[in-house]
Structures are given as structure tokens and as C-alpha cells.
């Protein structure tokens, strides 16, 4: 019986300096492992991004389980602040260190190892798909979306998908993500007329306008939450004028907000609200306000049911912990997968992700592999 070492595979992946958009050889490592186990591997590269699609079993089988994850990582920052080399994959006292140790090379290694061992030891009546991207930490324009576009064109289909992102806040097993809030940002540029501060009547000061607009937006209650989501939030993230003079009224200033929204709203409905508020303030202060909006992802929910039950059962069996079904946190590539099939997320504890000396307990990698293995076994039972 095959016994692929998920911790060793994690270390091999960490040694690949795959800071977005660089691949650093990470997908070569996975391609070699999966091809050797009978997976058909296809490189789906787009826009300078490397992605890997791997399938075991017949194409288009009615019962297909999918995993999704990423091998790209965020920059290391000040390397001199690291106690352990960011891409050294050093293990000390049962802890494996390195960029991507938590987010999420360990998750990819765990589900790849589980999939390889599963199809070799108990070949299922169905297919197993791994969709692995190198563009999750960046703009995500040519990563999982490229893989899903390829699948659509090639007639490939996952019936359900598990994204292996870190989901647990404190202990392995304590949280499964069944949805995510939507995310969007809006940039406001207020244009007035520059003038001398001693003669404000000869100018149009954009600063009171941006102050009023930001206050209106931040003071507005978007909603009170829903059955599965916390209340939506709006945060003012910057107000910029760049005016070093105390005797000059500037001609222009800018403000930016970020909104995390639940299923009460859509990106479109919130965009309309933001533009309406900007128009009201522009009229009140007799200035021009330009609005630029980017919706990073819509809110979504996979209602509790067969898929979340499948994952919960495996988590409980392997950890003794009953996971909470949650929609908290930021965005993930599940926001793209949800348009293809039912999707949930489950992975490691995320406390050290993106931090200096990012790390993961080696035993937790093995434990995560056992959870993924049980999920596969139960799904195809």
C-alpha cells in the first residue's frame, strides 16, 4: 500500500520560491508525483501564470471529487527578520518552517498525498480531480479562473470540490468554511478649485466633501447580518490629500473604502449605493466626485447538507472535534469554484500565515492528510 509522506512533500514545495507570479518549480514537483500515480496532468498556463490540472479516472465520470489549492505564496518581507530561511523548509522540534508552510503548501501536499494513496490502494468507481494554481495570492485573474475555463472547454467536471485553505482559528478541526463574504473596494476622487486659504470663497475645497462622504458611508448600517453571515462591514482605509502647505486649499483629494458584504447585497447593488452617495455629496458641496469600483468577489453560500456533512464527519472521526460551519474571513478561490459546483473549505490552523517564520506542526500535516483520505473514502463508499 502506498504511503506518500505529506510532510516531506510540503517541505519539497516550500523549497520552491514560488512568490506570485513565479512558480519556482512547485508544480513540477506535483506533476511528477501525480503523473507517477496514474493521474493525467495538464498544464493550464495563462497570462504568465502556471497552473496544473490533474485527473485520475475516466473523464466526465458521474462521480467526481475535486480538490483546489494554490502553490504561490506572498513575499517574505524583511528576510533578516526570519529565524529560519523562508525557503529552507527547516524542521525543528516537530515544527516545519517556511513561507507557505501554512498557506497553503501543506494543504496542497496533504490532499495530493491523500489522493495518490487513495487511487492506488482502493481505486474508486469515479474520478479524482486536483486543480492547483499559481495565482491565488495575486490578482487571481489567470489562476483558478483559468483552470475552470479550461475545464469548461475540455468537458471536465467536478461534482463537488474541497478547497484546502487554512480555515481553523485555534485547533485543527474547529471550522469549515461553507461560504465567504463578498469583497469590494471603491476609490473616490473629489475635485474642487485650488485657492488661498485666506480667501476660501474663491476656491472650492474638496476636503469637507470627502469628509462628509466618508462619514456618510461609514455611519450607514448596511444590514444586521443573515442566518449564516455576520453583518456587512465598510472600512475607510485611506484619505489622501498630499498638501504640504497650510495656506493653500487643494484642488483634489481622495478616499478609499473596502466593503465585506453578505448575501443581503451584491456588488452591483452596493456599487449603485456608493455612486448615489457620491452624487449627493458632490451636489451639496458643488464639487466633482469620480468613483472607481472593483468587486473582488461576490458573497456565496453552500447551504449545509451532504458536502458539509461529509467533511464534518471525517473531521470528527480524525480529530474528535465538531467543526463550526462558518462564512467568516476574507476571500478565497472558492468564490470562483462556487459557479462550477458545490464547494466547501477545510484546512489547517491559519495563525502564522503570511507572518515571519510561518510554520506548521508536522503532525498536523499528517493529520490533515488522514482527514482528506477519509473524505475520499467516504465519498466513494
Tens of pLDDT, residues 123-142? 999 999 999 999 999 889 99
Residues 320-332 have a mean pLDDT of 93
**Shared-domain flag, residues 307 and 292:** no
Q: Is the predicted pLDDT of residue 338 greater than 70, yes or no?
A: yes
Structure confidence at residue 331 (pLDDT): 87
- Give this prediction's pTM: 0.90
Q: Is residue 169 one of the residues assigned to a domain?
A: yes
Q: Is residue 369 one of the residues assigned to a domain?
A: yes
Nearest C-alpha neighbor of 20 from the set 46, 56, 48, 42: 48
Among 72, 103, 156, 165, the active-site one is 72
**Shared-domain flag, residues 195 and 289:** yes
Domain hosting 97: range is 6-180+299-379
Q: Is residue 23 one of the residues assigned to a domain?
A: yes
**Shared-domain flag, residues 266 and 289:** yes
- Rounded CA-CA distance 158/61 in Å is 9
CATH classification of the domain holding 353: 3.40.630.10
Burial class of residue 288 (count of CB atoms within 10 Å of its CB; 0-12, 13-18, 19+): middle
Q: Is the predicted pLDDT of residue 329 greater than 90, yes or no?
A: no
Contact between 99 and 79 (Cβ < 8 Å): no
Residues 98-127 have a mean pLDDT of 97
Active site residue 339: no
Residues 147-176 have a mean pLDDT of 97
pLDDT digits (tens, 9 = 90+) for 341-352: 999 999 999 999
pLDDT digits (tens, 9 = 90+) for 253-262: 999 999 999 9
**Shared-domain flag, residues 13 and 145:** yes
pLDDT digits (tens, 9 = 90+) for 268-293: 999 999 999 999 999 999 999 999 99
Domain count, the chain: 2
Cβ of 269: how many Cβ atoms within 10 Å? Answer: 11
Q: In 223-329, which residue ranges form alpha helices assigned H by DSSP?
A: 267-285, 306-319
Strand ranges, E, within the chain: 40-43, 52-56, 64-70, 91-92, 95-97, 127-133, 160-163, 175-177, 179-180, 182-191, 195-196, 233-240, 248-249, 252-261, 288-297, 300-301, 324-326, 342-345, 359-361
Q: Is residue 1 one of the residues assigned to a domain?
A: no
Q: How far is CA 37 from CA 40, 112, 128, 138, in A?
A: 9, 10, 12, 30
In the predicted model, what is the mean pLDDT of the chain?
Answer: 96
The domain boundary residue, chosen from 239, 263, 297? 297
**Shared-domain flag, residues 312 and 342:** yes
Tell me whether the omega of the peptide bond preceding residue 104 falls within 30 degrees of 0, making it cis: yes
Q: Is residue 206 one of the residues assigned to a domain?
A: yes
Q: Is the predicted pLDDT of residue 330 greater than 90, yes or no?
A: no
**Shared-domain flag, residues 236 and 332:** no
Contact between 222 and 234 (Cβ < 8 Å): yes
Please name the residue that has the C-alpha cell 461576490.
298
Among 136, 137, 165, 298, the active-site one is 136
Burial class of residue 226 (count of CB atoms within 10 Å of its CB; 0-12, 13-18, 19+): middle
Q: Is the predicted pLDDT of residue 371 greater than 70, yes or no?
A: yes
Active site residue 165: no
Q: Is the predicted pLDDT of residue 2 greater than 80, yes or no?
A: no
pLDDT digits (tens, 9 = 90+) for 208-218: 999 999 999 99
**Shared-domain flag, residues 51 and 163:** yes
**Shared-domain flag, residues 287 and 304:** no
Residues 31-55 have a mean pLDDT of 97
The domain boundary residue, chosen from 297, 328, 355? 297
Which triple of cell numbers denotes residue 303?
Answer: 447551504
pLDDT digits (tens, 9 = 90+) for 219-232: 999 999 999 999 99
**Shared-domain flag, residues 132 and 223:** no
**Shared-domain flag, residues 27 and 132:** yes
Structure confidence at residue 1 (pLDDT): 45
Q: Is residue 157 one of the residues assigned to a domain?
A: yes
The domain boundary residue, chosen from 238, 265, 297? 297
CATH classification of the domain holding 247: 3.30.70.360
- With cut-offs at 50, 70 and 90, classify the pLDDT of residue 60: confident
**Shared-domain flag, residues 350 and 361:** yes
342-345 and 160-163 strand pairing: parallel
N-term to C-term CA, the chain: 19
**Shared-domain flag, residues 120 and 166:** yes
Amino acid at each position: 500500500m502506498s504511503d506518500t509522506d505529506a510532510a516531506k512533500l510540503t517541505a519539497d514545495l516550500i523549497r520552491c520560491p514560488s512568490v506570485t507570479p513565479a512558480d519556482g518549480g512547485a508544480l513540477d514537483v506535483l506533476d511528477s508525483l501525480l503523473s507517477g500515480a496514474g493521474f493525467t496532468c495538464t498544464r493550464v498556463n495563462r497570462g504568465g501564470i502556471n497552473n496544473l490540472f490533474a485527473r485520475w479516472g475516466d473523464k466526465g465520470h458521474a462521480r467526481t471529487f475535486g480538490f483546489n489549492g494554490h502553490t504561490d505564496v506572498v513575499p517574505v518581507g524583511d528576510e533578516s527578520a526570519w529565524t529560519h530561511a523562508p525557503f529552507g523548509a527547516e524542521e525543528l522540534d516537530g515544527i516545519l518552517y517556511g513561507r507557505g508552510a501554512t498557506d497553503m503548501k501543506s494543504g496542497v501536499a496533504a490532499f495530493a498525498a491523500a489522493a495518490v494513496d487513495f487511487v492506488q490502494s482502493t481505486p474508486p468507481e469515479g474520478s479524482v480531480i486536483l486543480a492547483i494554481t499559481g495565482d491565488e495570492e495575486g490578482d487571481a485573474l489567470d489562476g483558478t479562473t483559468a483552470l475552470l475555463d479550461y475545464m469548461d472547454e475540455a468537458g471536465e467536471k467536478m461534482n463537488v470540490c474541497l478547497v484546502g485553505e487554512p480555515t481553523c482559528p485555534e485547533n485543527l478541526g474547529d471550522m469549515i468554511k461553507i461560504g465567504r463574504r463578498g469583497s469590494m473596494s471603491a476609490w473616490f476622487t473629489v475635485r474642487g478649485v485650488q485657492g488661498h486659504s485666506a480667501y476660501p470663497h474663491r476656491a472650492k475645497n474638496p476636503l469637507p466633501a470627502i469628509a462628509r462622504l466618508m462619514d456618510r458611508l461609514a455611519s450607514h448600517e448596511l444590514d444586521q447580518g443573515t442566518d449564516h453571515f455576520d453583518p456587512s462591514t465598510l472600512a475607510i482605509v485611506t484619505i489622501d490629500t498630499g498638501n504640504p502647505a497650510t495656506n493653500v486649499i487643494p484642488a483634489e483629494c481622495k478616499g478609499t473604502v473596502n466593503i465585506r458584504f453578505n448575501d443581503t447585497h451584491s456588488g452591483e447593488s452596493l456599487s449603485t449605493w456608493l455612486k448615489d452617495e457620491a452624487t449627493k455629496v458632490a451636489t451639496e458641496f458643488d464639487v466633482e466626485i469620480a468613483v472607481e469600483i472593483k468587486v473582488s468577489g461576490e458573497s456565496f453560500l453552500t447551504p449545509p447538507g451532504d458536502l458539509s456533512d461529509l467533511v464534518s464527519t471525517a473531521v470528527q472521526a480524525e480529530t474528535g472535534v465538531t467543526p463550526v460551519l462558518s462564512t467568516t474571513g476574507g476571500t478565497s478561490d472558492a468564490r470562483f469554484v462556487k459557479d462550477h459546483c458545490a464547494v466547501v473549505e477545510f484546512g489547517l490552523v491559519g495563525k502564522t500565515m503570511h507572518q515571519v517564520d510561518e510554520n506548521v506542526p508536522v503532525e498536523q500535516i499528517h493529520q490533515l492528510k488522514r482527514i482528506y483520505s477519509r473524505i475520499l473514502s467516504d465519498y466513494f463508499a
